[in-house]
Amino acid sequence: MAEENKSSLDPLAALCKRRGFIYHSSEIYGGMPGFWDYGPLGCELKQNVKQAWWQFTVRGREDVAGLDATIIMHPRIWKASGHLDTFADPMTMCKECKKLMRADQIADILAEQKKKPVPHNPEGTLSCPYCGGEMTEPKPFNLMFKTVVGPIDDPSNVAYLRPETAQAIFAQFQNVTSTSRMAVPYGIAQMGKSFRNEVTPRNYTFRSREFEQMELEFFIRPDEAVEILHGRVVTLADNPDLNGPVQDDWGWEVWHKYWVEQRKKFLNAVGLPTEHFVEYWQKPDELAHYARACVDIEYDFPFGRQELEGIAARSDFDLSQHQKWSGESQMVFDDPLKQAAKKMDENAKAAFIEKVQADWVRRGKDVEAARKFCLNLFDGKYIPHVIEPSAGVDRLMLALLCEAYEEQKLVDEKGKEDIRTVLHFSPKVAPIKVAIFPLIKKDPDQDRIAREIFTKLQKKVNVMWDVSGAIGRRYRRQDEAGTPWCITIDAQTVADGTFTVRERDSMQQKRMTYPEFLAMMYDALEF
Ligand code: GAP
């Protein structure tokens, strides 16, 4: 986004509405806060973002399988995961103006207001940032949307719209493991809708009530199992090569950092340069009690630096919880581990148990549980630990739109100034890949050849046909849509088959044959 547009989303939001990227949901009835619809260009961008993630995370790897689970699941899943009891924001209401807000966001609202005329607000975070009125005591407000399954509206039929896609992966872990025939370390990926009844949805699509997530649960051996197998556990202090193939002797810390690097590579590939986001490593007191580490990838949105996605090392918390609440074992059997343990004599096993117990006690865990855990390991059994890269589709789309948006000042040969609004999308996510223009609409040969090329390309990528207006105006329309290439069919095409390809960012034009264009396009689209 150009410097002068950085402080506001307004020009981008206007373009998104005008060109059919994003609309208010139910707009003709006044809209619904926190709900957004994607128009013709927006839904293409969304498809491309999701496809890119799936290609990078699932199809492009040997160690990840996919899942597509239901949005409404057994309510006990949310008891086991902790969402029923703790997935809440502190809600407070102004006693004067009755506005509801999250107590932890009052400071942000005040910070935003510094840019605008500030209403009377003497007490900072303790009073209403809008009218200065007294606030009620903050109360936890559970963010899950409730619904009723079946025709009888009874508390026993209450279910919830999932607030994250992740839990379905844990709930189906045993099924996927046995049917995919994959062994730990391996991952299960899922994309799909999630719902959170956010107290204050804000910043355009950034915090919505209905949104999509792309989540990977990558299951790894506990470090203790790695130690039995390899006699050591590789940590970050060993400076492992995170760009090469994954290694069997990596500990959780290395796997976690590996996935942070993978996510950064993905973000680069879809058009976010590394220098525009930061890795925020949560401090020990910020971590959830079960998490060993969590990194937020934060992006500089026009409304401030905010979380784009997160990569958490969640230990064996989730599967252990589901084992406890469902009564179904969530252990895996790891034959190489059992074979390695067989080679340990009784003394080595006793020393191993002692070491694990000392480590667990240091981490505030139970000595007897440590012993049982070791005995299971010697049998080749454990509950896998998990690394969770969790991204939001809508939030990534917003970042890509912010990153791509530019109002360029151009000066023509006669010195006349003009503004070109352009979306510099990576071709990999651009909603339209190619626009085809017959130079002279009424020329039957140009029209025929243009149609042939259009039809051929339509079978491969999303193509746009445009015959109306001067070529310059057609280019500008495509610049606003973020189309990387425009092909113009002219008299020379009729004579020798070559056509003009105009590249969006450089505005350079080049004559190419169809095979040359295809090779160039595929090269740019490949992951
Ligand atoms: N399973 C872990 C999990 O759900 P999270 O940090 O709550 O973690 C992960 O959500 C990602 O989902 C966020 O980084 C963000 O990209 C997206 N997300 C979460 N809440 C959202 C909301 N209300 N609107 C849009 N995207 C959201």
| Separation between Cα atoms, residue 272 and residue 195, nearest integer Å | 26
What atom of ligand 1 comes closest to residue 296's alpha carbon? 14
The one-letter code for the residue type at 310 is: G
CB of 394 shorter than 6 A to ligand 1: yes
The one-letter code for the residue type at 51 is: Q
At residue 484, the pLDDT reads 98
What atom of ligand 1 comes closest to residue 215's alpha carbon? 1
The architecture that CATH gives domain 76-159 is 2-Layer Sandwich (3.30)
Long-range contacts of 100-104 (CB under 8 A, 24+ apart): 100/199, 100/200, 101/129, 101/199, 101/200, 102/199, 102/200, 103/135, 103/138
DSSP string spanning 380-415? Answer: TEEPPEEEEEEEEHHHHHHHHHHHHEEEEEEE-TT-
| Separation between Cα atoms, residue 386 and residue 221, nearest integer Å | 9
Largest CA distance in the chain: 90
Q: Phi, psi (5° rounding) for residue 459? A: -75, -10
CATH of 22-71+163-332+384-397, one of 3.30.930.10, 2.130.10.10, 3.90.1170.40, 3.40.1160.10: 3.30.930.10
Q: Please, is 188 exposed, middle or buried when counting C-beta atoms within 10 Å of its C-beta (0-12, 13-18, 19+)?
A: buried
The one-letter code for the residue type at 406 is: E
* Number of C-beta neighbours around residue 112 at 10 A: 16
| Separation between Cα atoms, residue 327 and residue 324, nearest integer Å | 5
What is the domain partition of the chain in residue ranges?
A: 22-71+163-332+384-397, 76-159, 335-379, 432-525
Inter-axis angle of helices 346-362 and 223-230, nearest 10: 150
Closest CA to 482 of 466, 505, 460, 502: 505
Q: Phi, psi (5° rounding) for residue 461? A: -140, 175
CB of 210 shorter than 6 A to ligand 1: no
The secondary element (H helix, E strand) that includes residue 304 is strand 304-313
| Peptide bond just before 185 cis, omega within 30 deg | yes
Residues comprising the chain, all counted: 527
Protein residue with least CA distance to atom 17, ligand 1: 392
CB of 296 shorter than 6 A to ligand 1: no
| Separation between Cα atoms, residue 331 and residue 181, nearest integer Å | 15
| Separation between Cα atoms, residue 89 and residue 298, nearest integer Å | 21
pLDDT tens digits for 30-45? 999 999 999 999 999 9
Give the ranges where 55-82 is alpha helix by DSSP (H): 76-81
Query: What distances in angstroms separate CA 347 from CA 354, 368, 371, 494, one per listed residue?
Result: 11, 19, 15, 84
Protein residue with least CA distance to atom 20, ligand 1: 207
- Can you say whether the dihedral through the CA atoms of 250, 252, 258, 263 is positive or negative? positive
| Separation between Cα atoms, residue 13 and residue 23, nearest integer Å | 9
Q: Phi, psi (5° rounding) for residue 491? A: -60, -35
The Å distance, Cα 289 to ligand 1 centre, comes to 19
The architecture that CATH gives domain 432-525 is 3-Layer(aba) Sandwich (3.40)
Q: For 135, which DSSP code?
A: B
CB of 213 shorter than 6 A to ligand 1: yes
- Chain centroid, CA 461 distance in Å: 23
CB of 428 shorter than 6 A to ligand 1: no
Protein residue with least CA distance to atom 15, ligand 1: 392
| Separation between Cα atoms, residue 198 and residue 87, nearest integer Å | 11
What atom of ligand 1 comes closest to residue 196's alpha carbon? 23
The one-letter code for the residue type at 314 is: R
Count Cβ neighbours within 10 Å for each residue of 431-469 and write b for 16 or more, e otherwise: bbbbbbbbbeeebeebeebbeebbeebeeeebbbebeee
The one-letter code for the residue type at 160 is: Y
CB of 318 shorter than 6 A to ligand 1: no
Q: Could you tell me where the beta strands, DSSP code E, fall in 221-303? A: 277-281, 293-301
Residue ranges in the chain whose pLDDT is less than 70: 1-7, 114-125
The secondary element (H helix, E strand) that includes residue 34 is none
Protein residue with least CA distance to atom 21, ligand 1: 207
At residue 119, the pLDDT reads 53
Q: Could you tell me where the beta strands, DSSP code E, fall in 28-149? A: 36-38, 64-66, 88-93, 100-102, 139-142, 146-148
| Separation between Cα atoms, residue 190 and residue 173, nearest integer Å | 12
Protein residue with least CA distance to atom 8, ligand 1: 390
Protein residue with least CA distance to atom 4, ligand 1: 164
Cα angle for residues 185, 190, 194 (degrees, 5° grid): 135
